[in-house]
Amino acid sequence: MLGVLGILVSLWSDILLPTLTAIQQDLHTSATSVQQTVSLFFVANAFMCLWHGVISDAYGRRRPLRFVLVVLLLSSLLCLKVTRIEELWVLRTAQGLAAGIGTILCRAIIRDMYSGADAQKMIARTSIVQCLGLTLVPMLGGWLTFVWGWRAVFAFLSVVAVLMLIVYSRLLPETLPPIRRQPLRVGTLWRAYRIVMGSAWFMRLTVAHVCNWIAMFLYVAAAPQYVVHLLGRPATEIYLVYVPMVLGLIAGLVCLPPLLQRWGTQRTVRLAYLGFLVVNILNVALALLVAPGLIHLVPLGGYAFMVALSLPLLIGHALQPFSENAGLAASCQMLLQYTGMALVAGVLAPLLWSSFWLMALGCAALTLASAALLLWQGQATRRANRLSVA
């Protein structure tokens, strides 16, 4: 149930990607204008990430979720009636403001109930469900659009919102008792955000994860253009981008527990970053030397595998110092992640989607930034350990 909660953002974002061309044609607008429905969603999502966690820390996990599901239901129904792209921008922004609570609550509930290695394992397990959503949701969106048109996607989302409202109202337990809740005070909130965002430990590990994630998301955001203009395939085959990614993510998450048991956290992270190096070299080589074809999708699966190995470890270690404010810290993580995704969807993807080479270069640059941050974190940790011993 937590895994499904974690795909709330994917349901209201990735499902729209296969519909962008149809929306462009139906509303008589440009590809860039339609792409902003994705970017605005993530901008709004990033902003509300500052609030979802603290609201759930103040009022519990169940009440905010019910409110958000009502917002998603009403906005999806209104999307059925839009006639201008500007109307869709407004409604997509409202959906972005609401949907981000899913991932935050998923992580916060895990932190309510687990700690340490158990929390990392639960993050990995819920991530498997989220990975399946990354493939199935866009494929579903493409199928609905092909059969009934793009508005059928929002009809489907309306039904999903009703079902989730019923199921979670009845079955999701409250994991944050009143005695552990944090009062919602602006001054206290500002100080808490400053503590979390001012933590070098938190920022280095979180931004390292974000760089890896948005390097992969670059191909998700550019998928319609990548499939049609670079691979020369029809728009209905957008799933070609998602399938290798999801297979890689699932394989990585399945392999993670035995790797942790055998090698421990540090060696597993090193393995992941060695894999990132190999995959990026392969991606650049294919972009430079090989003609357009499905072979260019192979590095996407390998990259996703390495993301899966590193994701639970980086996220879990970043949250470790903030067990009493897990919701707030998770909010800060998602703020950084969705801000990065918004920049990729609205700025970076349109700049790079014209060639395999530019896409590979962008992916490699983001991975390099992540590796640099992780090296910095390791150096800072070793320095702190030496000082504590002295």
Domains of the chain: 2-173+182-389 (1.20.1250.20)
How would DSSP label each residue in 213-274? HHHHHHHHHTHHHIIIIIS---GGGTHHHHHHHHHHHHHHHHHHHHHHHHHHHHHHHHHHHH
Q: Is the dihedral of CA 26, 27, 30, 36 positive or negative?
A: negative
Is pTM beyond 0.75 here?
Answer: yes
pLDDT of residue 62: 84
pLDDT tens per residue, range 339-374: 898 899 888 998 999 999 999 999 999 999 999 999
Measured CA to CA, the distance from residue 103 to residue 119 in angstroms comes to 15
pLDDT tens per residue, range 96-150: 999 878 877 877 787 777 766 667 677 767 777 776 776 678 888 888 988 899 9
H/E segment holding residue 181: none
pLDDT of residue 291: 92
Q: How confident is the model at residue 15 (pLDDT cuts 50, 70, 90)?
A: confident
